[in-house]
Amino acid sequence: MSKSLSDSLVATSVRHPAHALSGPAVDDVGDPVIRARHLVKRFGRVTALDGLDLTVGRGQVHGFIGPNGAGKSTTIRAILGQLRLTSGALTILGRDPWREAPVLHRRLAYVPGDTVLWPGLTGGESLDVIGRLQGTQDPHRRAELVERFELDTRRRARTYSKGNRQKVALIAALSTDAELLLLDEPTSGLDPVMEDRFCDTIREVRAEGRTVLLSSHILSEVEALCDRVTIIRAGRTVVTGSLDSLRQEGDSFDDVFLSHYRNVS
């Protein structure tokens, strides 16, 4: 009794601001690739997700932004079926990610924010292990991306810098045929030249009609690439909508973003 009451309180308090700010935008997505409703995840006494909503439509590049600890990575791990949610409804490509993880994973590819590789394997071996376990690696695309990102594939991963490790995860994910790309702060450690090539690649991916969830706190990158944006804070969705509709709220996207952290304590 008291549980359902508190759940509904959480639900209204989360839903309300999201709807108020984004208006009808949240529903104009037919056939969503990611559909998350009131996600709650508690680790012991810590609440990581506190009623998070997220809808990503097919073919979108969707920016997922928020400060450190807001719950971005937790959400992505739930999408990957690596976390059991405390409550809430989550469907990815129409399926339950916890129960059907391996089936779903053939259709999505993931880039972690801080990629840790096997120190004894070469970069090339790591690429193939990740890509082939995903199941849809395209060797031609792999070769092309290795060249584009200038990766020395014969070096052991223990000798790689952070940027090089990040390149391995990026190439592995981008050389698959996945319909959905989950990118968790993918450009951390990349130099400006490589970041530029990353942006070009994401535009190609969008042109192919694939869907991207881009978690980031680099606002310029989000502004350059994304169609729609969801801003979260403390495990809840603060606002979601198209970039254009959000820009109308303030002078620049940065102002809009920061305003959501100034007003609420």
Decide: residue 144, CB within 10 A, 0-12 exposed, 13-18 middle, 19+ buried.
middle
Cβ neighbours, 10 Å, residue 2: 6
Residue type, 149: F
Q: What is the DSSP secondary-structure string of 131-174?
A: HHHHT-B-HHHHHHHHHHTT--TTSBGGG--HHHHHHHHHHHHH
Tokens representing residue 24 in the block? 């009808």
Tokens representing residue 56 in the block? 């990503």
CA–CA gap between residue 175 and residue 160 (Å, rounded): 20
Q: Which of 51, 66, 112, 235 binds other proteins (CB under 8 A)?
A: 112
- Is 188 near other proteins (CB under 8 A)? no
Tell me how far CA of residue 241 lies from CA of 30, 156, 165, 185, 229, in angstroms: 15, 43, 33, 20, 6
Q: Which of 169, 174, 190, 226 binds other proteins (CB under 8 A)?
A: 169
Residue 245 CB, shortest distance to other proteins, in Å, is 32
Closest CB to other proteins among 17 and 135? Answer: 135
Q: How many residues make contact with other proteins (CB under 8 A)? A: 44
Q: Which of 23, 27, 89, 132 binds other proteins (CB under 8 A)?
A: 132
CA–CA gap between residue 182 and residue 72 (Å, rounded): 11
Interface segment toward other proteins; rule CB under 8 A; list 4-12, 71-79, 217-225, 253-261: 71-79
Q: Which of 65, 92, 130, 225 binds other proteins (CB under 8 A)?
A: 130
Q: Which of 27, 67, 155, 162 binds other proteins (CB under 8 A)?
A: 155
Closest CB to other proteins among 1 and 116? Answer: 116
Interface segment toward other proteins; rule CB under 8 A; list 16-24, 63-71, 121-129, 256-264: 121-129
- Is 60 near other proteins (CB under 8 A)? no
- Is 147 near other proteins (CB under 8 A)? no
Cβ atoms of 145 and 153 within 8 Å: the answer is: no
Task: List residues binding other proteins (CB under 8 A).
Answer: 73, 76-77, 80, 82-84, 101-103, 105-106, 108-110, 112, 114-122, 124-135, 153-156, 158, 169, 182
